[in-house]
Structure 1
Amino acid sequence: MKLPTWAIRELENRIMPALRNCTNMEELRQLHAHILVFSLSQSNFLGTQIINICNSNRRVDYAALVFNQVEEPNLFLYNAMIKACTQNQHCSEAISLYKQMLNRRHAQNSVLADRFTYPFVLKACAGLLLLVLGKLVHVHIFRSGLTSNSIIQNSLMEMYAKCDDLVDARRVFDEMEDRDAVSWNTLISAHARLGQMRKARALFNSMPSRTVVSWTALISGYTMAAQFFDAVEVFHRMQLEGFEPDDISIVSVLPACAQLGALELGRWIHACCDKHELLQKSFICNALIEMYAKCGSIDQALRLFEEMKDRDVISWSTMIGGLALHGRAHKAIELFVEMEKDETVRPNGITFIGLLSACSHAGLLDEGFRYFDSMKEVYGIDPGVEHYGCMVDLLGRSGCIDRAVEFIESMPVPPDAAVWGSLLSACRTHGNIGTAVKAMEWLVELEPDDIGNYVMLSNIYAAAGRWDGVAKMRRVIRSKSLKKTPGCSLIEVNNVVQEFVAGDDSNLQFGEISGMLYLLASQLGHYGYQRTMESKE
């Protein structure tokens, strides 16, 4: 028997307070059972709240069951379900629901999208990179008269930006009457993600008021574009203008510190994180560990790792890779063995790159192959070309040149330049000219303009007294007009990183630096002469 409307409203009002206080799925199931007993499964009012709770608990499957039970879902129920699907990365389902809404427009109980519908539909389009559908939704928004809604405009910009359509993203921005911080940040982030840092910086400079998000977008963009000096410079400016770094800005600048060797800045960031209790977040600690490892402070990285309470696979992989990089091979392997005992985490492909590199540096041939085989057999990980490259390096360092060639020829994936480069390097160490020439043939195809390969083969010829080969390599280098990249070094003084490039006299203190280097060289030469004379006596 169908309940009268007044009775349904009264039951809904009695149940809703309990639903609003519900936070977990177990309690929700109990309340849902009561709802079914009272024949309220068709209630859009209660169904919307149930779906919101499911969304908070990431149970889209349960939310879908509730939604599908309702024969005539209203706008609120559709919006709740589309939001739940989008926020839990079920973008295809969100778009299907939107299309279902469109099809109901001509039904007796039509449902029209509103200002709460479009932002999540656009986010779903962006998640699937469906630019054509996103443009169609833009047309729907125009027809609905909601183009002046700032939240929808920001969502449109984000959709266009993620679909690599910066022209339309900028057009939406230019048409906005009231631009908020989100509008500016969205466009700055869009240009920064595609590496258009000049446009991103120009937008940033013209912002009426900046936020931490604005600064972070610029820092992150410079880091991704490998413009590490600029990333650090913007981070310093952010502090000077009174903005407190947050966790996102910190993990954006730490890779730049790592690449520049800006250890003192990295240590200051570590202290700042400790002060603001950010070290409880594993992604912050992971970024700090990588920074310390790349800046040469592996013991400090290890101390931070050991102090961590919650280590994820990135924590273990970063630490193992850092130890391998510093030649601490046995410690890296020891850490992997400890990781295997941790039931909460499983190694991934990155973990094995560090582990196999450690075996290579230590010359542990049998252990290396045992770990390589365990990737597929124990962990179900298909080795990639990077893992095969590690094994070629291991064989080469161990002097097994012929076995390394056989290993390359049996690879199920095409060997890249790094694989052949490892073999060429091994040939230089062990003086194998025949295999070096074979490796070089592949390298010429894969990276014909890398002068380092030609120089390495030339050195191999020279070590064997094959001066005809040396002359040949020099002719090739001249014919291709190849130039060696100038060497550079970095030094951090008073939290400022200075770069010195070989042959560059543009530095204002070039004369003083050259004079000091000349003085040091003469003293070292004199010291060396004295030691030589003393040894003769």
Structure 2
Amino acid sequence: MIASLRSLLSLQPAVSFTAYVDKSLSLLKKLSTHGSLMEGAMLHGHLIKMGLSSERYVTIKLLILYLKHRRLRESEHIREAFDGFDLVVHNCFINANMEWGNLNEARRLFDEMLDRNEITWSTMISGLMRWGKVKESLWYFGKNPFPSVVSWTAGITGLVQNGLNFEALDLFRKLLRSCVKPNSMTFTSVFKACIEMGNFRLGMSVSGLAVKAGFQHSVSISNSLITLFLRMGKPSLAKDVFDRMKERDTVTWTAILDMYIDAGDLVGARSIFENMLTRNEVSWSVMISRYIQNGHHEEALMLFSRMVREGTKPSISCLSSVICALSDLKALHTGTNLHAHILKVGMETYVFIGSALIDLYCKCGNTREGQLVFDSIPSKNVVCWNSMISGYSLNGQMVEAEKMFQNAPARDNITWNGIISGYVEIGQFDEVFECVNEMLLSGEVLSKSTFSSLLCACSSTASLEKGRNFHAKAVKLAFMGDVYVGTGLTDMYAKCGDVISSRKVFDRMTDQNDFSWTVIIQGLAENGFAEEAIELFEEMETTSSATPNELMLLSVLFACSHSGMVDKGLTIFYSMETVYGIKPSGRHCTCVVDMLSRSGRLSEAEAFIDSMHVTPESNAWAALLSACTKLGNEKLAEKTAKKLLVLTERNSAAGHVLLSNMYASLGKWTEVLKMRKVMKEKGLKKTGGCSWVEVKSIVYSFYSEDGSNSQLPEISQVLELLRTEMLIVE
């Protein structure tokens, strides 16, 4: 704008007066909408110097400029400069007071006017409609002595803005019966009323009237038609209108962009986006948010960076989406830079921005910074509290999470789920069940997310009775149609050993995804139903669109290993990269070693370990050593044990125990004593076995060589009695 002022100064009024005046008026118009008051004052001073400020058409423009910037003193000085009443000046003051919400002042100005024109009446009608004064606005409409298309349109548009679509259509019907011809703005408002009411048939009739009235090439009419066809579910018709348009604006491009995005065609949407001549904040935000929703976080961030470089200011929702993308990527450094920018522009106090920043810091493990953001939000809502509680829970800081939970002024389902998932994360499953009971007592209903945590707790503790109770609740709440609840139940039953119920739940699922198939195949394999697991995998490949993943293939290899189907297992393993596009991991290779070892193909197992493209896991050597022990292959066992001892020397007794067992099976007790001596010197001890039993919803755990249980004498007596009874039966 300063450059435009300089170009004005370069003009010589004496040489080209008309060009000078036109440039001055153009600058005044721009400054009224986009410029600063300082620039306007500079131009005003220049016009005074050149003797043009007293010209009526210039004075009116200056008045509009000062009214736009709410400079009442300067505006009053200009009005006083007029000799008596001026209709245009009065209209300007009425319009300004309507925009400011000073309705009483606008009415007073209207009442004191010596003369009025159609702009005066239309300003009152549209202004009162804008502030929801519908009845009063219609009173002015009825009294209007100038029933032009402007006042009719003001009434129709105002009714649509106030949600009175039927009344707007009725007023449009009266307009058609009058001698007034509607304009493009009238048709645009009527289209909006039809769309809002869902009356698409009437909308098509209105489109015929618009064409008949000669507005078929109007940009606003075409935009309304595009929106109408999209709401009707006719994207092809919307595309036809778009293709026929000779001129398009930002609204046009944004509407057609929405069409591609709603159809899930990101490639087409991006093509439309790149072809837009001008882009507004809405079009940028739509593209960025959809990329994030589809998991293309990096592309979304690149688009956001470009948006900022091109000078478009992001909205609160856009910034929130970008911060969420950074949270998923755990991009703390970039997130910190964006936080600094948010502080700079003063948007950090918005709760949605603050909540997203809390989530970012907590997901990156920095709960301290998350707490600082939380403390800086002046008006915290439940979303802020939930973000902080979930953040502490995610990082296993349950003391802090519990404190936040207790202090939360309000709790919703997400609040409860945040604390429950935290207990699941750190393995405090008793707390999970207790917290769920409190949640139910508070009147909160279990959500699908709650069920995921509950079923995980039941699976981890093998609490079959609790799992069945929650299954009944899921049926009662009509959650069985949800793929995640169904998958959780399938997993819970399998982990609790009830394979029949697990299979029943899986078979009854209406929608089965990759994870569902993985869970049932893994459940069958781990519970000894190896052949059924392999059959189900083959069924999935032929009848389902599910794609095998790493865990599923690991379960299939495990099943092949335990069913003796070595050749089939090897075929699946060697086709992982070529057929499924999955590079075998160390766990897959260990499974193959176990498979070969179990079948007695020890030399092949050893050769396979030596040819592995990844560093062999200790479990691979342990599997081979275990097989050597069973088959009495002392030479290979000692060779394998040495390699296993190197891997497990510092943190495991597994290799020492296996080798000791092999020596014992061969009767080499001297070697056994040596191994045990080495274990004692290194402080190595085999992890004690553990078993548990659930009685009346309480889980009792028993560890090998653990004498801490207060009821140990009674338990020992019962076990001895059972042992005696078993001997008698024999």
| Residue from 289, 302, 306 that aligns with 1:83 | 289
| Residue from 498, 503, 509 that aligns with 1:297 | 498
Structure 2 residue 690 is the aligned partner of structure 1 residue 488? yes
Number of the residue aligned with 2:463? 262
Structure 2 residue 254 is the aligned partner of structure 1 residue 55? no
Structure 2 residue 672 is the aligned partner of structure 1 residue 473? no
Unmatched segments (≥5 aa) in structure 2: 1-182, 186-214
CA distance in 2, matches of 1:362, 1:82: 50
Deviations 1:30-78 (A, max 9, x none): 313312422343x222333333443333322222222222223222322
Secondary structure, counterpart of 2:701 in structure 1: strand
Number of the residue aligned with 1:368? 569
CA distance in 2, matches of 1:135, 1:83: 20
Distance apart, 1:199 and its partner CA: 2.6
Distance apart, 1:266 and its partner CA: 0.8
TM-aligned CA distance change 1:296 to 1:92, over 3 Å = closer
TM-aligned CA distance change 1:229 to 1:437, over 3 Å = farther
Number of the residue aligned with 1:108? none
Larger Rg belongs to: 2
CA contact (8 A) 1:232 1:257 kept: no
The amino acid that maps onto 2:482 is: K
CA distance in 1, matches of 2:317, 2:518: 42
Q: TM-score, normalised by structure 2?
A: 0.66
TM-aligned CA distance change 1:74 to 1:337, over 3 Å = closer
CA contact (8 A) 1:8 1:40 kept: no
| Residue from 243, 268, 277 that aligns with 2:478 | 277
Name the count of aligned residue pairs: 518
Number of the residue aligned with 2:377? 176
Number of the residue aligned with 1:535? none
| 1:339-488 to 2 correspondences below 5 Å | 339-448=540-649, 449-488=651-690
Distance apart, 1:151 and its partner CA: 0.9
CA contact (8 A) 1:126 1:162 kept: yes
Distance apart, 1:519 and its partner CA: 3.8
Distance apart, 1:29 and its partner CA: 4.6
Secondary structure, counterpart of 2:700 in structure 1: strand
TM-aligned CA distance change 1:20 to 1:439, over 3 Å = farther
The amino acid that maps onto 1:114 is: S
Deviations 1:182-237 (A, max 9, x none): 11221222222233333323322332222221222222233233333333333333
TM-aligned CA distance change 1:201 to 1:445, over 3 Å = farther
Number of the residue aligned with 1:31? 238
Deviations 1:110-132 (A, max 9, x none): x3333233212222333433323
The amino acid that maps onto 2:240 is: A
Deviations 1:306-342 (A, max 9, x none): 2223222222222222112122222222222222221
Deviations 1:227-251 (A, max 9, x none): 3333333333323333221111111
CA contact (8 A) 1:22 1:53 kept: yes
Structure 2 residue 265 is the aligned partner of structure 1 residue 66? no
Distance apart, 1:436 and its partner CA: 2.5
Deviations 1:447-493 (A, max 9, x none): 33212332222111111112222122112211122233333322222
Deviations 1:379-411 (A, max 9, x none): 343322222211111111111212211111112
CA distance in 2, matches of 1:459, 1:177: 67
| Residue from 398, 422, 429 that aligns with 1:221 | 422
| 1:238-249 to 2 correspondences below 5 Å | 238-249=439-450
TM-aligned CA distance change 1:152 to 1:481, over 3 Å = same
Distance apart, 1:10 and its partner CA: 5.7
CA contact (8 A) 1:51 1:84 kept: no
CA distance in 1, matches of 2:666, 2:300: 67
Distance apart, 1:521 and its partner CA: 0.4
Secondary structure, counterpart of 1:71 in structure 2: coil
| 1:15-30 to 2 correspondences below 5 Å | 15-16=223-224, 18-19=226-227, 22=230, 27-30=234-237
TM-aligned CA distance change 1:516 to 1:252, over 3 Å = closer
Q: How large is the Cα RMSD of the aligned pairs? A: 2.7
TM-aligned CA distance change 1:311 to 1:87, over 3 Å = closer
TM-aligned CA distance change 1:17 to 1:469, over 3 Å = farther
Q: TM-score, normalised by structure 1?
A: 0.88
TM-aligned CA distance change 1:447 to 1:33, over 3 Å = farther
Larger relative contact order (Cα-Cα within 8 Å, sequence gap ≥ 6): 1
Structure 2 residue 720 is the aligned partner of structure 1 residue 521? yes
The amino acid that maps onto 2:713 is: S
The amino acid that maps onto 1:31 is: A
Secondary structure, counterpart of 1:117 in structure 2: helix
TM-aligned CA distance change 1:273 to 1:52, over 3 Å = same
Moved more, 125-134 or 464-473: 125-134
Distance apart, 1:302 and its partner CA: 1.4
CA contact (8 A) 1:23 1:53 kept: no
CA distance in 2, matches of 1:63, 1:526: 76
Distance apart, 1:495 and its partner CA: 2.5
* Sequence identity percentage: 32
Secondary structure, counterpart of 1:280 in structure 2: coil
Number of the residue aligned with 1:286? 487
Deviations 1:260-307 (A, max 9, x none): 110011111211122222121222211111111110101111122222
Secondary structure, counterpart of 2:684 in structure 1: coil
Structure 2 residue 342 is the aligned partner of structure 1 residue 141? yes
| Residue from 176, 180, 203 that aligns with 2:404 | 203
The amino acid that maps onto 1:58 is: G
Distance apart, 1:171 and its partner CA: 0.7
CA distance in 1, matches of 2:460, 2:708: 23
